[in-house]
């Protein structure tokens, strides 16, 4: 039996929630992750795929699928930090 576990962080003092619905398809999980990514006060911790006796971390794959379906989503904090670092490095390289 294959199922997904989605762990969401609601922020300081509000805790975390693990969502496990064995009947949810991968497509439904991508939609849930898209909603979490679009929210300002929620944070995705990880997504695990449970297949029999094996557990796989599929967070990056699911996030990529969620972003591919909706390219208008704002960049993640990690992407913004990487862009800021690259911009700063480019400015230093050109002596600005």
Number of Cβ atoms within 10 Å of the Cβ of 13 = 5
- Rg (C-alpha) for the chain, rounded Å, is 17
Answer whether 40's CB lies under 8 Å from 74's CB. no
The sign one gets for the Cα dihedral 30, 35, 38, 41 is negative
Task: Name the residue among 76, 77, 81 with its Cα closest to residue 63.
Answer: 76
Answer whether 44's CB lies under 8 Å from 8's CB. yes
How much is the pLDDT for 7?
93
pTM (2 decimals)?
0.65
What average pLDDT values come out for the chain (96 residues) when binned by 10 residues?
A: 89 87 89 86 90 92 82 68 87 82
């Amino acid at each position: 039996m294959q199922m997904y576990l989605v762990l969401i962080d609601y922020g300081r003092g509000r805790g975390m929630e693990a969502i496990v619905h064995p009947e949810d398809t991968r497509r439904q999980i991508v939609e849930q992750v898209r909603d979490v990514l679009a929210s300002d006060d929620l944070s995705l911790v990880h997504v695990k795929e449970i297949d029999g006796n094996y557990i796989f971390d599929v967070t990056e794959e699911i996030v990529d699928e969620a972003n591919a379906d909706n390219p208008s989503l704002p960049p993640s904090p990690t992407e913004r930090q990487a862009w800021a670092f690259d911009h700063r490095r480019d400015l230093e390289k050109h002596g600005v």
